[in-house]
Amino acid sequence: MTQQSHSWAYIQTKIFLEKDTCTRMFTAALFTIAKTWKQPKCPSTDDWIRKMWYIYTMEYYSAIKKDKIMSFAAT
């Protein structure tokens, strides 16, 4: 009977330590995520124009590659 109660105390202690370790690791992970978190911001006009130009250029060259370009779009 003493052996069983000793084992139970050991199990409870081990569970507590594992739970405490997981909690600390979870807290550390949350802190790291929060520290490196970047809030979305509106792109600058220059960035927006560059992205739109990139999309336009890719669509244009994709159409040329597929030979589906319209004659009026090329001028």
**Taking the C-alpha atoms of 23, 11, 9 and 18 in order, what is their torsion angle to the nearest 10 degrees?**
-20
Higher pLDDT, residue 67 or 44? 44
User: Following DSSP, what letter does each residue of 36-52 receive, concatenated?
Assistant: H-----PPPHHHHHHHH
pLDDT band at 47, cuts 50/70/90?
Answer: confident
**Cα separation, 73 vs 29, whole angstroms:** 52
Instruction: Clarify whether residues 58 and 75 are in a common domain.
Output: yes
Distance CA 24, CA 16 (A): 12
pTM recorded for the entire structure: 0.36
pLDDT band at 2 (very low <50, low <70, confident <90, very high): very low
Three-class SS of residue 69?
coil
pLDDT of residue 8: 58
Number of domains comprising the chain: 2
Query: In this structure, are residues 43 and 51 in contact, taking their beta carbons and an 8 Å threshold?
Result: yes
**42-62: average pLDDT:** 86
Provide the domain limits for residue 26.
1-37
